[in-house]
């Protein structure tokens, strides 16, 4: 039996109704779609329903599509279950932006880097190991070539990022859940620190910003300044960002790119649940409208049948 689908309903999963959720809701409303906001934690597996999923307020029906804005932290079991819900939506033919597979690839920075490197895209030298002993072995071997950056394997907005210049600066395993994601520090040209965030959606670049800061951590959430990107570097940034999005399989993403001192560009991260406040402050394109329009165009031809996930 085919589960019922509410063709005018878009499910937005997020842990809070921030400005970006509100922008998405308004953008879908302008397109005649009713966006419903729920925490992914509140969506349940329920074998009483034809779909096997229970969404509060949907009476056993499915949405036309799902937009994932955030997945809150939790136990391994809780996060696995939430990703399982997203996998189930995809199995049922409900488009999920971004898919569980893409989110899994992005949330785990080591997997992101592995896939980009395997595709021949430029990334800094990267090492991901377990245990302080293995991390010290990496540091002793690599630090003579220059500093390393220690990042949480699962993390965003610059939280928990450390510059490692000596073996002694490696934290105890309890501080990092005994997982050490170490990346070569990329020295940058000039006297200020700058990298780039490129926002892609549905195979196109919506916009990009330069993020400038007085310190080497350039996240907007940490106080970096957003500036528009002009000049001859834009085509190279666009090409690199679109290649990374294709390799990881994101429908929309924020891709971080850093220029090295010699001018070569290096891919740092692909974010499957990116914020766009900084980007929106310097470009005229309405990011939420672009995401909504692309997703609605994707599901519009599916009258009478479920689209491919």
Say which CATH number the domain at 156 has.
3.30.1490
Residue 215: what pLDDT? 74
Q: What is the sign, positive or negative, of the torsion defined by CA atoms of 69, 30, 254, 95?
A: positive
Mean per-residue pLDDT for 278-292?
92
Answer yes or no: is 80 within a domain.
yes
Answer yes or no: is 309 within a domain.
no
Answer yes or no: is 152 within a domain.
yes
Asked if 234 contacts 207 with a C-beta cutoff of 8 angstroms, the reply is no
Asked if 181 contacts 151 with a C-beta cutoff of 8 angstroms, the reply is yes
Residue 159 — pLDDT band, cuts 50, 70, 90? low
Return the SS3 of 209. strand
Residue 158 — pLDDT band, cuts 50, 70, 90? low
Answer yes or no: is 132 within a domain.
yes
Q: Looking at the 3D structure of the chain, how many domains does it have?
A: 3
pLDDT at 154 over 90: no
Residue 190 — pLDDT band, cuts 50, 70, 90? low
Residues 230 and 116 in one domain: yes
Domain that holds residue 171: 126-184
DSSP 89-144: HHHTT--EES-HHHHHHHHSHHHHHHHHHHTT-----EEEEESHHHHHHHHHHHGG
Distance from C-alpha of 148 to C-alpha of 241, rounded to nearest angstrom: 24
Residues 166 and 200 in one domain: no
- Tally Cβ neighbours within 10 Å of residue 89: 26
Cβ contacts of 133-139, under 8 Å, gap ≥ 24: 134/180, 135/170, 135/180, 135/182, 136/167, 136/170, 138/180, 138/182, 139/164, 139/166, 139/167, 139/170, 139/182
Number of helical H runs and strand E runs in the chain: 8, 15
Mean per-residue pLDDT for 122-145?
97
Residues 9 and 77 in one domain: yes
Asked if 148 contacts 170 with a C-beta cutoff of 8 angstroms, the reply is no
Residues 203 and 111 in one domain: yes
Alpha helices in the chain (DSSP H): 19-30, 76-91, 100-107, 109-118, 132-142, 233-248, 277-280, 287-299
Enumerate residues 6+ apart whose C-beta is below 8 A from 97.
65, 66, 67, 68, 251, 252, 291, 295
Residues 237 and 113 in one domain: yes
The predicted-structure confidence for 61-109, as pLDDT tens digits, reads as follows 999 999 999 988 888 899 999 999 999 999 999 999 999 999 999 999 9
Residues 178 and 194 in one domain: no
Asked if 82 contacts 73 with a C-beta cutoff of 8 angstroms, the reply is no
Distance from C-alpha of 189 to C-alpha of 149, rounded to nearest angstrom: 18
Residue 306 — pLDDT band, cuts 50, 70, 90? very low
Asked if 278 contacts 267 with a C-beta cutoff of 8 angstroms, the reply is no
Answer yes or no: is 91 within a domain.
yes
């Amino acid at each position: 039996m085919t589960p019922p689908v509410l063709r005018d309903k878009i499910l937005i999963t997020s842990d809070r109704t921030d400005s970006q959720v509100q922008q998405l809701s308004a953008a879908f409303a302008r397109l005649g779609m009713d966006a419903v906001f729920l925490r992914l934690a509140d969506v349940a597996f329920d074998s009483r329903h034809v779909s096997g999923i229970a969404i509060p307020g949907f009476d056993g029906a499915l949405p036309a599509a799902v937009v994932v804005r955030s997945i809150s932290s939790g136990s391994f079991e809780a996060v696995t279950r939430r990703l399982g819900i997203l996998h189930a939506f995809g199995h049922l033919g409900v488009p999920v932006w971004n898919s569980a597979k893409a989110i899994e690839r992005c949330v785990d920075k080591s997997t992101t880097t592995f896939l980009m490197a395997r595709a021949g895209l430029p990334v800094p030298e990267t090492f991901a190991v377990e245990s302080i002993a293995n991390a010290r072995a990496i540091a002793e071997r690599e630090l003579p070539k220059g500093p390393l950056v220690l990042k949480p394997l699962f993390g965003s907005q610059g939280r928990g990022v450390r510059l490692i210049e000596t073996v002694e600066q490696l934290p105890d395993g309890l501080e990092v859940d005994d997982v050490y994601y170490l990346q070569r520090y990329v020295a940058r040209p000039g006297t200020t620190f700058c990298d780039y965030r490129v926002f892609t959606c549905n195979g196109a670049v919506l916009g990009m910003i330069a993020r400038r800061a007085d310190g080497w951590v350039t996240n907007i959430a940490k106080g970096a300044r957003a500036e528009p990107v002009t000049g001859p570097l834009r085509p190279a940034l666009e090409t690199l960002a679109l290649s990374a999005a294709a390799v990881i399989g994101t429908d929309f993403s924020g891709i971080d790119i850093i220029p090295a001192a010699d001018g070569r560009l290096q891919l740092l991260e692909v974010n499957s649940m990116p914020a766009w406040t900084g980007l929106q402050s310097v470009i005229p394109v309405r990011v939420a409208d672009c995401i909504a329009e692309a997703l609605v165009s994707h599901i519009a031809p599916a009258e009478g049948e479920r689209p491919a996930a």
